[in-house]
Amino acid sequence: MPENVSELIEELVLANRILSNEGVLDGFGHVSVRHPTDPGRYLLSRARSPLVVEPADILEYNLDSEPVKRSSVRPYSERVIHGCIYQVRSDVMAVCHNHAPALMPFCVAGKPIVPISHVGATMGEQAPFWDQHDEFGDTNLLVVKPEEGQSLARALGKHSVVLMRRHGATVVGGSLKELVARSIFLCENARYQMQAYLLGAPTPLRPGEIKPAGDGNVSAGVLARNWEYWTRRLELSGSWPLPANAAPVAIAEKEKRRR
C-alpha cells in the first residue's frame, strides 16, 4: 500500500470507482483506508456517490470518526462503521460498506453466504450476520451512532465479512487492493451460490481448501493482475483516468476557497 498520502488518495479514488463499476457499490456505500503513517486516522470521501469521487473529496478522520480538519462539506452519516472497526482491528487497513445486489437476497432472507468458488475463498470460512434490531430496536437501519458501529465491529470479530440483515455488508482487508478484490469476489461467489441453488444444494469448499485458496487470491501477483484488469474495465467505461484538474493537489486549493 502506498506510504505517500497523495498516492494513497488516488488509489482510494480508483477503488471507489472500480467497486462502483464492478457492481459492488451503488449510489450509496463507501470505502475507506487507514492513514499510511498515522494508524489513528483514516481516509474517506465526503458524502458522494462512489463512481464520481475525486481526490478533492477525500477527508481525514480520527478513529472517533470526527474530521481532523474543519470542513463545510457533508460527511457520510455511516462513517462510524469505519472508525469503530479500525479501533478494534489493528490488522485492518481498508473497509467497504455496500449494498451489492448480489448480496442483498442473502441479507434479506438471513441465509448464509458460504465459499463455494476458488475466488470465493477470500471471504473466509463464514460471514456472520448482524441484526441491528436485536440490540437497538426499530431504527432507520443506518449505522450512525458509535454504539451501533461498535456493535457491528463486535459481530465482525476476526472475520473478513459481516452481513447486515436487510441492509447490506461490510468487508475488510489488509490493504486497499485486498479489500477491493475480496469485495468483488464475495459478490461473484454469492451469484454463483444463488445460481447453483437452481441445480441443487451448493457444495461449499472444504475447510482445508479455504485458507490456501483465499491466501492465494489476495497474494501480491494476483492482486496486481486483477487490479490491472479492473482498472482497464473502468477506463473502457469512460470513468478513468480523471481529468487533470482532479489531481490530489487540488485538495488544499479547494479547502482555501472554502474558508
- Any idea which residues carry the catalytic annotation? 78
Burial of 23 (0-12, 13-18, 19+ CB in 10 A): middle
Q: Which residues pair with 67 in a beta bridge?
A: 61
- Name 170's bridge partners: 97, 162
Question: pLDDT tens digits, residue range 166-221?
Answer: 999 999 999 999 999 999 999 999 999 999 999 998 999 999 999 999 999 999 99
HSE-CB at 259 with a 13 A cutoff on CA atoms is 8
DSSP assigned state of 76: P
Can you list the positions of beta strands (E) in the chain? 30-34, 41-45, 58-62, 94-98, 129-130, 161-164, 168-173
Delineate the domains of the chain, giving CATH numbers in brackets: 5-238 (3.40.225.10)
User: Which amino acid is residue 116, in one-letter code?
Assistant: I
Q: Phi first, then psi: what are they for 67, rounded to 5°? A: -60, 135
**Cell matching residue 120:** 470465493
The pLDDT value given to residue 252: 40
Q: What is the pLDDT of residues 20-49, one digit of tens each?
A: 999 999 999 999 999 999 999 999 999 999
Contact between 171 and 95 under an 8 Å Cβ cutoff? The reply is yes
